[in-house]
């Protein structure tokens, strides 16, 4: 074993050339860069053991926070000033706002940001406001904005409820086997739609303090009627169904509607987390607060008070006094990735930082049933969620990565760790979908109907299996000695079938083909596929073909909408690391592409050990909602540098059943 700079003992192969030769200049530079990154990451750990980087999205979070406060009558000058400072700082020269760094103008984001600045007192004839309103009018005005934006405006009389899709609260009564029941929606959409059915039923209007005529193409006739699609098309059928629901609203039995809203209220309250939030994400939280307020919950009610306090905890205050609102917080995800990075970079398995992190992660295990049990009623609970508090919705991706992280720690209570891992593995295997793959939150959440609703014009509303999540589960199962398990083999077969003809995999939760490929190749090799396998060779060839001249890799969010952008974009530290993780797993350590990629990471590292990364490399909804995870720029490059220096990761040896299982495990093949 090799001594590390922090006095611990490395848990991987010796520092330097992983193949056992003398250190070359690239390996020496990589080791130094990894040491700097490791020290920076260690310094970011909270005393309780977790890591959390800022989760940056776009200004709609900040605009909607001000609109919520305006609706509830609690908007104050200090909050408004700080939010407006942030929103103004994100505006571009043409007056617009985008949803990701360097992205195209977004109409809905620009409308919401403009309205928030009007609330903050910015005059409509101010140059920055006039540029925004002119651009909005030129691109269709409010009428062309997405449904969510127009719902926010309807709350203040700036849009008519009659010109929004109808969401009847009676939806909560549909049994789980009926199409379009609430469990046909992904968990994030389900948690948003249930409170919105209450809002839609009430149709509240609290008149805004100004008009928004300047945002209409024709202020005298703002409600443009679009022609219906053909009746025999799915779109046309759902448009006509929405018209029928508008008629039903006028004749809905009052007792039935009241019962539906009461049921919705119970559903909402039952899913409030211990910290007061809903699902650990902003949209369900704000709509749940509005819905409960409309149902008579005053602002001092414990449910409401806790909900509003939880939203305050999503606030990031910047040095210039600006206030940014996170859509979500990612401590479990950030912590497991940090542990993997530190361990793979040579930190000893019993280092206090890793043990503290393992203790914290063990304390975050989800041990009660959530909505996932609707589809898997016999499955015992286990696993981990993404956020500080989200026991209703653990996710399979986090669970796989947490297990991989825990296996890198020599914990003083191995029985406790083994119990949590066993439950997480069992739960993950039970959440496999019928096609052999895994989704993020639910099993078999693949109904084609929710995305066809007129209401659903923004982002994914179902949770189908994805290559990146499936890959993480396969990698985890291989590490648990289950590479030959039929369920693992079905996952491998699905991954092989999903490879794009030119070699990459689509990345649902990260951008995009580089992320998918960086996830899948290490999983396949961990499960026993050789680097010579045709699928792996195609992936290697594709990664080499899209490497940038500077040695790095990058991919723009536009690849979700336009396949020609696949693997194309400014180089970033995180995406370069994903490509390197795939190439290293494929046995390409001594190849020119890896050497150039390592050179890019070494050459662009900041003196403090981290990297600059303004680009958004995370994904909430492909194309529609992009994320800049501020810790990605550190944990993934450190992992790649660590594996380059130390070789592929090895789990901490354990005595007993797991050792026997690993020793007897076969490898999974594929064609």
Domain boundaries, the chain: 25-53+330-447+465-664, 56-222+231-325
Of the listed ranges 12-16, 550-554, 635-639, 648-652, the least confidently predicted one is 12-16
**Higher confidence at residue 649 or residue 187?**
187
Give 264-308 pLDDT, tens digit per residue. 999 999 999 999 999 999 889 999 999 999 999 999 999 999 999
Q: What mean pLDDT is predicted for residues 378-382?
A: 97
Report the C-alpha gap between 571 and 547 in whole angstroms.
9
In whole angstroms, what is the distance from residue 12 CA to residue 163 CA?
61
Whole-number Å distance between alpha carbons of 596 and 610: 19
**Encoding tokens for residue 8?**
């611990």
Window from 18-27, 71-80, 93-102, 313-322 with minimum mean pLDDT: 18-27
Instruction: Report how far residue 652's alpha carbon sits from residue 193's, in angstroms, rounded to the nearest whole number.
Output: 44
Ranges assigned E (strand) in 171-223: none
Write down the pLDDT at residue 235: 83
**Residue 40: band (very low, low, confident or very high) from pLDDT cuts 50, 70, 90:** very high
Whether the per-residue pLDDT at 20 is higher than 60: the answer is no
User: Tokens 């620009």 sit at which residue?
Assistant: 110
Is 550 annotated as catalytic?
A: no
Question: Does 33 score more than 90 pLDDT?
Answer: yes
For the cut 80, the answer to whether the pLDDT of residue 654 exceeds it is: no
User: 259 and 164 in contact (C-beta within 8 Å)?
Assistant: no
Instruction: Tell me the backbone φ, ψ of residue 56, rounded to 5 degrees.
Output: -95, 130
301-348: pLDDT as tens digits: 999 999 999 999 999 999 999 999 999 999 999 999 999 999 999 999
Residue from 397, 398, 468, 556 carrying the catalytic annotation: 397
Helix, strand and coil in the chain, % to nearest 5? 50, 5, 45
Domain formed by 56-222+231-325, architecture = Alpha/alpha barrel (1.50)
Least confident of 454-468, 497-511, 581-595: 454-468
Within 433-501, residue ranges assigned H as helices are 467-479, 486-498
pTM: 0.93
> CB–CB of 604/618 below 8 Å?
no
> What b/e sequence results for 145-176 when a residue is b if at least 16 CB atoms lie within 10 Å of its CB, and e otherwise?
bbbbbbbbbbbbebbebeebbbbbbbbbeeee
CB 140 within 8 A of CB 111: no
3-class SS string, 386-438: CCCCCCCCCEHHHHHHHHHHHCCCCCCCHHHHHHHHHHHHHHHHHCCCCCCCC
DSSP secondary structure of 164-180: S----GGGGGS-TTSTT
Contact of 62 with 83, CB cutoff 8 Å: yes
Share of the chain above pLDDT 90, in %: 87
Is residue 659 over pLDDT 50?
no
Residue-level pLDDT at 221: 87
Helices (H), 440-485: 467-479
Residue 11: predicted pLDDT: 39
Q: Mean pLDDT, to the nearest integer, of 463-480?
A: 98
Cβ neighbours for 644, distance < 8 A, ≥ 6 positions apart: 18, 27, 30, 580, 584, 589, 594, 598
**DSSP string for residues in 581-592:** HHHHHTT-TTSH
User: Quick one: pLDDT at residue 23?
Assistant: 66
Contact present, 211 and 486 (Cβ < 8 Å): no
In this structure, what token pair is assigned to residue 297?
A: 């919950």
Average pLDDT, the chain: 92
Domain 56-222+231-325 in the same topology as domain 25-53+330-447+465-664: yes
How far, in Å, CA of 223 to CA of 214, rounded?
14
531-559 pLDDT per residue, tens: 999 999 999 999 999 999 999 999 999 99
> Of 2-11, 242-251, 567-576, where does the model show the most confidence?
567-576
Per-residue confidence (pLDDT) for residue 653, from 0 to 100: 63
CATH number, domain 25-53+330-447+465-664: 1.50.10.20
pLDDT of 456: 85
* pLDDT at residue 273, rounded to an integer: 93
For the cut 80, the answer to whether the pLDDT of residue 133 exceeds it is: yes
Q: Which pLDDT score is estimated for 231?
A: 84
Residue 667 has pLDDT above 50, yes or no: no
Collapse the DSSP code of 122 into the 3-class scheme (helix H, G, I; strand E, B; otherwise coil) and give the result.
coil
- Give the tens place of pLDDT for each residue, 473-502: 999 999 999 999 999 999 999 999 999 999
């Amino acid at each position: 074993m090799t001594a590390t700079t922090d006095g611990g003992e490395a848990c991987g192969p010796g520092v330097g050339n992983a193949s056992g030769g003398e250190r070359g200049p690239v390996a020496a530079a990589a080791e130094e860069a990894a040491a700097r990154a490791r020290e920076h990451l260690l310094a970011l750990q909270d005393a309780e053991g977790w890591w959390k980087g800022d989760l940056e999205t776009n200004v709609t979070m900040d605009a909607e926070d001000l609109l919520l406060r305006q609706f509830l009558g609690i908007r104050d000058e200090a909050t408004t000033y700080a939010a407006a400072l942030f929103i103004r700082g994100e505006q571009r020269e043409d007056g617009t706002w985008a949803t990701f760094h360097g992205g195209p103008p977004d109409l809905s984001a620009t409308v919401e940001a403009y309205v928030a600045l009007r609330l903050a007192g910015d005059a409509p004839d101010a140059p920055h406001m006039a540029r925004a309103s002119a651009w909005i009018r030129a691109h269709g005005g409010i009428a062309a904005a997405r449904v969510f934006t127009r719902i926010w405006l309807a709350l203040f009389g700036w849009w008519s409820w009659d010109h929004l899709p109808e969401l009847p609260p009676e939806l909560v009564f549909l049994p789980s086997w009926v199409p379009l029941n609430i469990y046909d929606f992904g968990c994030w959409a389900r948690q948003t739609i249930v409170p919105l059915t209450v809002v839609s039923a009430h149709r509240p209007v609290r008149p805004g303090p100004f008009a928004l005529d300047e945002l209409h193409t024709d202020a005298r006739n703002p409600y443009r009627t679009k022609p219906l699609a053909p009746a025999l098309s799915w779109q046309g059928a759902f448009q006509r169904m929405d018209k029928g629901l508008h008629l039903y609203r006028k004749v809905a039995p009052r007792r039935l509607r009241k019962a539906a809203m009461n049921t919705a209220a119970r559903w909402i309250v039952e899913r409030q987390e211990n910290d007061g939030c809903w699902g650990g994400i902003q949209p369900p939280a704000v709509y749940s607060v509005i819905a409960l307020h409309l149902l008579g919950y005053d602002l001092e009610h414990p449910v409401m008070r806790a909900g509003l306090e939880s939203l305050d905890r999503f606030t990031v205050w910047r040095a210039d006094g600006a206030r940014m609102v996170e859509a979500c917080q990612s401590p479990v995800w950030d912590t497991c990735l940090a542990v993997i990075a530190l361990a793979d970079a040579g930190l000893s398995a019993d280092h206090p930082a890793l043990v503290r992190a393992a203790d914290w992660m063990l304390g975050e295990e989800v041990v009660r049933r959530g909505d996932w049990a609707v589809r898997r009623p016999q499955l015992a609970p286990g696993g981990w969620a993404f956020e500080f508090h989200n026991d209703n919705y653990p996710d399979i991706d986090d669970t796989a990565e947490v297990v991989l992280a825990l296996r890198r720690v020599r914990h003083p209570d191995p029985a406790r760790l083994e119990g949590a891992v066993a439950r997480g593995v069992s739960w993950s295997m039970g959440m496999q979908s019928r096609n052999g793959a895994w989704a993020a939150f639910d099993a078999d959440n693949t109904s084609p109907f929710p995305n066809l609703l007129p209401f659903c014009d923004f982002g994914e509303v179902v949770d189908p299996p994805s290559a990146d999540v499936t890959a993480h589960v396969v990698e985890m199962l291989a590490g648990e000695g289950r590479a030959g398990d039929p369920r693992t083999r079905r996952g491998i077969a699905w991954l092989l079938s999903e490879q794009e003809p030119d070699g990459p995999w689509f990345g649902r939760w990260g951008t995009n083909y580089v992320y998918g490929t960086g996830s899948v190749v290490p999983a396949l090799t961990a499960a026993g596929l050789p680097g010579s396998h045709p699928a792996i060779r195609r992936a290697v060839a594709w990664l080499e073909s899209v490497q940038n001249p500077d040695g790095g890799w990058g991919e723009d969010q536009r690849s979700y909408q336009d396949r020609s952008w696949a693997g194309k974009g400014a180089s970033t530290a995180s995406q370069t690391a994903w490509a390197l993780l795939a190439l290293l797993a494929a046995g390409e350590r001594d190849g020119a592409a890896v050497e150039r990629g390592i050179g890019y990471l070494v050459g662009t590292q900041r003196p403090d050990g981290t990297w600059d990364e303004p680009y958004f490399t995370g994904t909430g909804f492909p194309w529609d909602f992009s994320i800049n995870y501020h810790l990605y720029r550190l944990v993934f490059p450190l992992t790649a540098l660590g594996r380059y220096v130390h070789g592929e990761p090895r789990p901490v040896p354990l005595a007993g059943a797991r050792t026997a299982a690993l020793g007897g495990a076969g490898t999974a093949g594929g064609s």
